[in-house]
Amino acid sequence: MKVFEVRAPHEASLIERERPAPAAGEVEIKVAFVGICGSDMHILHGDNAFVRYPRVIGHEFSGTVATVGDGVTGWTEGERVCVDPVISCGTCYPCRINRPNVCRALNVIGVHRDGGFEQYVRVPAANLYHVPESIPLDQAALVEPYSIASNVLSNMGVHAGDSLLIVGAGVIGMTVLQVARALGIERITVADILDDRLDAAIELGATHTINSARDDLEARVDALTDGEGMNLIVDAACHPALLPQMVRMASAAGRLGLLGFSSAASELVQLEVIKKELTLVGSRLNSRQFPTVIELLETGRLDASRLISHRMPFEAMPEALSLIEQHPEQTRKVLIEIDTTLE
């Protein structure tokens, strides 16, 4: 079978590999579509501390059941599925309190073990989710990135009438925007330094946008909220230097969602956090958010097709990576078509 393997940082190519049978408890998936994520780019460039090379990347994918391993029940050949990449032990403290995404023995498909950029991939049966016929498989491949957005908003807590500021209008910011709209948040402001991205944010449902390269972000937030500050702020730019500013822009009792993996220090004035009784929420991967996202897609409250900017064949994988790297302003989500006959 054909796979896209990252042998080492900056060394990747399409290769042929033997197709192994699924182990006990596993299901083999015939892959239909895979989304390229920023974390895939980090693995490609050697910027992911968790990965071990060589690695087949890809953790956003959909397909159909090809083969069922020993001991697996409830799945049949040809069934349409998407895959939660979070593999947890089920016994450690985070797992016991329903937070498997920070399991002490966490494994992530496409990072710690081979992922979806191959024609057939083996995954634990427990990580499969049925895809209803009403959801196209290209959109089903994007359940995972939307689960990231659902996770951070769930962790922050959403109340009726909340205002939301999303800092950063890249793919992460756009998924947060779409899920927030689907959950009923009506006042959503998006900040970025690129007008094209801000135009896209308006298209996807933002009520206000701020170009923070031209405008005073804090002053605009103050004006938009009549001095109250934002109730919810999500850092989708993932830059630690933004944290002090987000603390200043937050309302009393506000919640800040942090998604970045930077190890750089960030200045934080404790008084500013305490006097407003702010909640700072870290969010990693997703904690069983797939059913929520699938329901939003099935009921039409979420349209993942609006996130897709490009669909490219598997053979064009190098060109797709180059497009994302060299022309990020032209891309939202780039989907790789592994087997379009499954659509």
Please name each of the domains of the chain with its CATH number.
Answer: 2-130+303-342 (3.90.180.10), 147-282 (3.40.50.720)
pLDDT of the residue at 161: 97
How far apart (Å, rounded) are the C-alpha atoms in residues 221 and 189? 9
- 279 pLDDT exceeds 90? yes
pLDDT of the residue at 9: 97
- 262 pLDDT exceeds 90? no
Confidence of residue 153 (pLDDT cuts 50, 70, 90): very high
User: ω into residue 54 within 30 of 0, thus cis?
Assistant: yes
How far apart (Å, rounded) are the C-alpha atoms in residues 284 and 151? 8
The percent of residues in the chain predicted with pLDDT above 70, rounded, is 100
Global model pTM greater than 0.75: yes
Confidence of residue 263 (pLDDT cuts 50, 70, 90): confident
pLDDT of the residue at 295: 98
pLDDT of the residue at 3: 98
Q: pLDDT tens for residues 92-131?
A: 999 999 999 999 999 999 999 999 999 999 999 999 999 9
How far apart (Å, rounded) are the C-alpha atoms in residues 109 and 111? 5
pLDDT of the residue at 329: 84
- 159 pLDDT exceeds 90? yes
Q: What share of the chain is helix, strand, coil (3-state, %, to 5)?
A: 35, 30, 40
Q: pLDDT tens for residues 173-184?
A: 999 999 999 999
